[in-house]
Amino acid sequence: MTAGHGGSPIQLLSPDGVRHPHERYDRFLADVDGRVEGADSAALLVSIYEDMVVARRIDAEGTALQRQGQLGLWPPFVGQEAAQIGSAHAIGPDDFIFPSYREIGVAYARGAELPDLVRQWRGNAHSGWDPFAMNMGPSQVVIGAQTLHAVGYAMGVLFDGAETAVVTYFGDGATSQGDVNESMVFAASFQAPVVFFCQNNQWAISEPVGVQAHVPIARRAPGFGISSVRVDGNDVLACLAATREALERARSGNGPSFIEAVTYRMGPHTTADDPTRYRDANELEDWKEKDPIARFEAYLASIGVVDDAVRARAAEKADSVAEAVREATIHMPDPEPESLFEHVYAGPQPVLERQRDHFERYRRGIEGGIGAGAATTAEGGR
């Protein structure tokens, strides 16, 4: 495991926004540090900053929409913008992402259409976006299951001889799941080009991370034969550099990597949860002092990249995006009921086709005034 002194997370930006050189990771930040001829480092830094600001605004709007009954559920990610946006900016367009349900910031940075960010949470579709148009799988609610999909995809990439890399996201709680551990066994055994990106946000719903991990989570990966690093997940530059390094390892045929981004979930686990019932308010205040956006903004201001005009432009863009998300949510047309059966399997599946047939006759029964009970009884429904 690679980490800082005493196992502390690798940090390139201190909480007050001071940039610290790093012998290993500085080479992965040459473009943002202005050391690449022809590269517009200021534009790149501002784009990362704007994405973080917009992502936080999307999160606030999603929470508000859920509270107003427009969404069935919302998984807040406020506080985790550096981990999501920093890693997302490292991932290439041909790489494939397998997220959990919380990577809405990653999806935004990946270029998802705004209505697609909320479609699944409104109960409007199985998935918000076309996975193959985005090279990003649908949000996975089953804890850790997406890591199996990621390793399977990465093994396919390996067998095809492609240069694509795969990134899968999950939380600290998922590392206790069998799926995650099994996926690491396969990834190591086949030297699959996959990056395991763990956002350790300190809480698995109401369980603090210390209950399930008595040592840093990143220490587990070497036991599977996987290189790992522990980074400050509120440091966007550390997240960017560590992800670029891991992707380079994957593409060069040197197998999987594990990144533990130590961050903090400032909000609830989901909008169905109340963290004030299990979390000390002082803990939240302590982490607010490590706010990832304030830290990055302080750094950008110190090097003259951010001023009041840039801040205002980012805020204006964030409000515009939030307004578009709200309008898309409120005016989203209801799906056709039969669409429930679409995109479940790659091809025809007899059990599903039978269910679709029963459902269509059930609907015709209702529309014909027969009634649900008569229709389902006639068809032997149960």
Q: In angstroms, rounded to a whole number, what is the distance separating the alpha carbons of residues 277 and 311?
A: 35
Q: Which residues are catalytic?
A: 265, 269, 278
Distances (CA, A) of 267 to 101, 145, 239: 15, 24, 21
Q: Is 252 exposed, middle or buried (0-12, 13-18, 19+ CB in 10 A)?
A: exposed
Question: Contact, 270 vs 75, CB < 8 A?
Answer: yes
Vertex 349: Cα angle to 346 and 352 (nearest 5): 110
Instruction: Return the biggest CA–CA distance within the chain.
Output: 75
Q: In angstroms, rounded to a whole number, what is the distance separating the alpha carbons of residues 195 and 332?
A: 35
Question: Contact, 111 vs 72, CB < 8 A?
Answer: no
Vertex 262: Cα angle to 151 and 259 (nearest 5): 30
Contacts of 148 (CB under 8 A, 6+ apart): 179, 182, 183
Helix (H, G, I), strand (E, B) or coil at 242: helix
Which of 261, 208, 273 has its CA nearest to residue 63? Answer: 273
Contacts of 313 (CB under 8 A, 6+ apart): 50
- 265 token code pair: 């979930």
Q: Which amino acid is at 288?
A: K
